Chains A and B, each alone.
Chain A
Amino acid sequence: MSLFEKIFNYGILSRLQENGIVPVTTHERSWLKTMLQHPTAADAFTPDTLKKLRLLLSGSDAPQLSGMLQEKAGSMEKQVYHPFIRQLRSLIRSGQGIRISYRIKDGSLHEEQRGYPYKLEYSMVKREWYLLWYRFRPRSFMATKLDNIISVSGIPLEAEQAETYAATVRKLLDSRRRQAVIEVVPEFNNELSRILYAFSCFDKSVAYEESSDTYQIRISYLADESEYVLLKIRFLGKRVRVVQNTHLQTRMRETAAKALARYGITGPDADADTEQSV
């Protein structure tokens, strides 16, 4: 079976949806059966539901892809589905507030803080889950690893209040947006494909100047993602150059000087800071 089946056609899809009919194909069932073999399934369902699902899929095959498909150079998978997700996503969906106890990076404990849960975010780089939330006192936008949460419970919020907090978070995120323009050094235009792939995990647009055969990638990211943007730029090395964004340019200049100092080559910027956590 191919992924381009008549049954997936967009015309059929919308017609069936109008009539509340949901077709599920053999391959989707097989995919699900394979995914339910992952140990993390136990974190996602009650034992009864999991049993029921497995029973419903007992007639399906679960193809073993392990020998045919190999994943390379990724981050080791720390977690897939976290036990806190079930509770947190219902709180988010029902627009409730939270009372939460959690640890921060240095290990210290923050107890019984109140706030508004915005989203659950999974980082494909860190391979773990974070709760993005807005803390009421002191007011602050937080990203807390689910692994660092000790306990969490819901507190009632008026629908209007919840909407206000959601709007506050959106505004905050917007105010943290940063832009950078990264130029592909024309000499490396033959590597354009992989350079564009490397930046395809960001919100970006590309401009091409035909007369000089130059590509510029404009990326948009949040201020606290700067370190990851820098990591990508260093990853590509001399192939790319930041042409717009003073902060990134300064950091790249410092990094180059400090890196050269590691090899015993010193220059004016050698005392600058080392790389930060992403």
Chain B
Amino acid sequence: MAKESFDKEIQFLRMLALTTGAYSRQQFAERLGISVHTFDKTLRKLKEIASSVHDSAAGTPGEDPDRELGGMLRYNHYETSDPMLMFLFRAKSLKETEIDRLSLLLGELNGRSMTAAELLDSCCSGLPADAAMPDEKTIRSDLKYLEEVGVIRKVNSGRPARYQLHDDLIRELSAEELQELYDYVDCMANTQLPSVQGYLLRDSLKSVLKQHQTGRDATEPFLYKYHYHSRILDEAHLYPLFGAIAERRTVSFIYFSPKSRRSYASRNTNPLFERKAKGLSERILPLRVVYDHQYGRWYLLGHNTRQGIMIFRMEGLTDLVLGEPVEEERFSKHLAELEAATANSWLVDTGRQVLVKARFYNPEVPPNQPNFVKERVQQQGQWGVITEEGEDSFLYEITVNGPYEIKPWLRSFGSSCEVLEPAQLRREFIAEWKEIQRGYEPV
């Protein structure tokens, strides 16, 4: 059987999460490059998973079917901190018989060790009489799989091998310790990268805690503000890429650039997720993954013999396949090139270095109140330095690759920031503020 790919589901959910409610079924399907029929099928599947994972996700009957799931993906920060797109990672297809068998095996191995033969016996008596009975080969391959993912382990060294559930982490902890662990996992999954493994563990711990909780105990005490929810979708590619980087292997994929080309923009099409026949086949040596906190987006940085250093947005990656390993020497050489080229990237720009100088104006606050402008410059200004401090303002300097990636950040300070150098950037700021001003002129 061909390896199941989740590219379609990932693109589907990303589009749904980002454009919540914007499109009709027809428009949505067109933009994804799929048929309306496939749209309906995918939506049905995702809804089934979502409603089985979250009880509240059933949706209101009678609503537009495509807007229903969209509505569910709208989040209310003050109601829940459950990561709403996590159910994607529950989407691996499985036959009902396999679900029955694997659940039964894990149930048998809960708290005691058994051999494959013993498991076969209890499996046959545990399954409904009309179910197809598994043979020993199937049981052995199930055990092999469960051992590989680390859910069970061998408890003896002799033969026949005896297996048991590998759940010490849960079993050995007191209820209070489990609660402490849950809180820590919740905090780390929400504040650190990567997070999906943490969210999966969080789900498991939550189900254990539920067993001895009542009423208020179950209250979630934590909220996380200003999260980019769709960031976890791209983590789907993260582990294969980390694997490839660790083993110095090349990867190939079909890339759909999220930026549209002018010729298409003028044709009145939606540039977002334009699919079909526009994907480019790429093969690179992956070197590093970068997460951009400003937008909650991921980048893949790699090297290709023809074009040198290449940068891709993770959301455009589909059909990712791992290739052959290269020599360590080649990998190190390109990694060093990449490090040199991106040492001064605000994000990932490898353009020419430029010195940016800006004057920041202190806010008019009482003397004992914090200077929030300076605090933010210090917290977010990366390697830039404050070179001069006056009573009303201070000077900030930074050398970056090209002025374009830092521009939005400088602009976000509004009138608290005046760009001094380069002159071209200063002119652009003046022109842009004029344009913004025109946008708000009374009509």
Query: Which of B184, B222, B348 lies in contact with A72, CB distance below 8 A?
Result: B348
CB distance from A198 to the nearest CB of B (A): 6
6 closest A-B pairs by beta carbon, nearest first, are A26-B150, A74-B293, A258-B415, A31-B197, A256-B437, A277-B372
Q: Indicate whether B157 reaches chain A with its CB closer than 8 angstroms.
A: no
Q: Mark A244-278, 1 if CB is under 8 A from B, else 0.
A: 00000100110111111111010100000111111
Q: Indicate whether B395 reaches chain A with its CB closer than 8 angstroms.
A: no
Q: Indicate whether B388 reaches chain A with its CB closer than 8 angstroms.
A: no
Contact call B224/A197, Cβ cutoff below 8 A:
no
Contact call B78/A170, Cβ cutoff below 8 A:
yes
Q: Indicate whether B289 reaches chain A with its CB closer than 8 angstroms.
A: yes
Q: Indicate whether B136 reaches chain A with its CB closer than 8 angstroms.
A: no
Query: Which of B96, B165, B183, B429 lies in contact with A89, CB distance below 8 A?
Result: B183
Contact call B150/A29, Cβ cutoff below 8 A:
yes
Q: Mark B258-273, 1 if CB is under 8 A from A, else 0.
A: 1110100100101110
Contact call B439/A241, Cβ cutoff below 8 A:
yes
Chain A residues contacting B99 (CB-CB under 8 Å) are: 9, 11-12, 15
Contact call A234/B382, Cβ cutoff below 8 A:
no
Contact call B439/A45, Cβ cutoff below 8 A:
no
Chain B residues contacting A5 (CB-CB under 8 Å) are: 92, 149
Query: Which of A7, A44, A78, A194 lies in contact with B146, CB distance below 8 A?
Result: A7
CB distance from B71 to the nearest CB of A (A): 8
Separation of A67 and B242 alpha carbons in the complex (Å) = 10
Q: Indicate whether B21 reaches chain A with its CB closer than 8 angstroms.
A: yes
Query: Which of B224, B242, B293 lies in contact with A121, CB distance below 8 A?
Result: B224
- List 5 other contacts, CB 8 Å, given A23-B151, A63-B246: A13-B90, A15-B103, A38-B188, A86-B180, A241-B439
Contact call A63/B242, Cβ cutoff below 8 A:
yes
Q: Indicate whether A223 reaches chain B with its CB closer than 8 angstroms.
A: no
Chain B residues contacting A193 (CB-CB under 8 Å) are: 18, 258-259, 271-272, 315
Q: Mark B427-438, 1 if CB is under 8 A from A, else 0.
A: 001101111110
Nearest residue in B to A82 (C-beta to C-beta)? B187
Q: Indicate whether B394 reaches chain A with its CB closer than 8 angstroms.
A: no
A-B contact pairs, 16 of them (CB 8 A): A4-B236, A7-B151, A8-B90, A9-B99, A21-B110, A45-B177, A69-B242, A120-B221, A122-B191, A123-B225, A125-B225, A189-B271, A196-B272, A235-B294, A274-B364, A275-B373
Separation of A5 and B93 alpha carbons in the complex (Å) = 9
CB distance from A11 to the nearest CB of B (A): 4
Q: Indicate whether A49 reaches chain B with its CB closer than 8 angstroms.
A: yes
Contact call B380/A203, Cβ cutoff below 8 A:
no
Q: Please judge, given known A-B contacts A68-B288, A200-B296, A234-B414, whether A124 and B106 are in contact too, CB under 8 Å.
A: no
Chain A residues near B (Cβ < 8 Å) = 1-17, 19-32, 35, 38, 41, 44-46, 49, 52-53, 56-57, 63, 65, 67-78, 80-81, 85-86, 88-89, 92-95, 105-107, 119-127, 132, 159, 162, 170, 173, 185, 189-194, 196-198, 200-201, 203-208, 210, 213, 215, 228, 230-232, 234-238, 241-242, 249, 252-253, 255-263, 265, 267, 273-278
Nearest residue in A to B367 (C-beta to C-beta)? A106
Max chain A C-beta neighbours (<10 A), residue from B22, B235, B363, B368: B22
Separation of A198 and B18 alpha carbons in the complex (Å) = 10
CB distance from B388 to the nearest CB of A (A): 17
Query: Which of A3, A70, A71, A119 lies in contact with B89, CB distance below 8 A?
Result: A3
Q: Indicate whether B312 reaches chain A with its CB closer than 8 angstroms.
A: no
Nearest residue in A to B261 (C-beta to C-beta)? A190
Query: Which of B27, B149, B225 lies in contact with A122, CB distance below 8 A?
Result: B225
